[in-house]
Amino acid sequence: MKKQPKHLKWQMISEHQKLTERQDRDGNSAQDLINELTNPNATKEELESSLDRLKVSLQNQPMRWIQNFLDKKGPQALHAVHATLPLDSHIHNEDERCVIQT
């Protein structure tokens, strides 16, 4: 990376910035996902969808996204989901799987 020309480095930084802004705008930020998980009016199906998105995000997003999820109280949001659902719920299994796999 150190040997790359400056214009290429700036292009990479610019593309990364645009991607980050697009993710935030499209509702793919860590905070958006936490808001979905902590929504008191969310249905079981909505929570399942949010957990599926979380699983994909934890596996595919850069470490910065994951750190942001942790910093913004993502684990507490998962705990809140656990506390509100029956133990035999599909959500518990998905929740545990996405955390264990990361």
In this predicted model, what pLDDT tens digit does every residue of 3-45 receive, in sequence order?
888 888 888 888 877 776 665 555 578 999 999 999 999 888 8
Domain housing 64: 28-101
Q: What is the mean pLDDT of residues 42-61?
A: 88
Q: What whole-number distance in Å separates Cα of residue 83 and Cα of residue 87?
A: 9
- What confidence score (pLDDT) does residue 8 get? 86
Number of domains in the chain: 1
Q: Is residue 9 assigned to a domain?
A: no
Question: Residue 2: inside a domain, yes or no?
Answer: no
In a domain, 4, yes or no: no
Identify whether 63 is part of a domain: yes
Cα 16 to chain centroid distance, Å, stands at 17
Judge whether 33 lies within some domain.
yes
CA pair distance 38, 32, nearest whole angstrom? 10
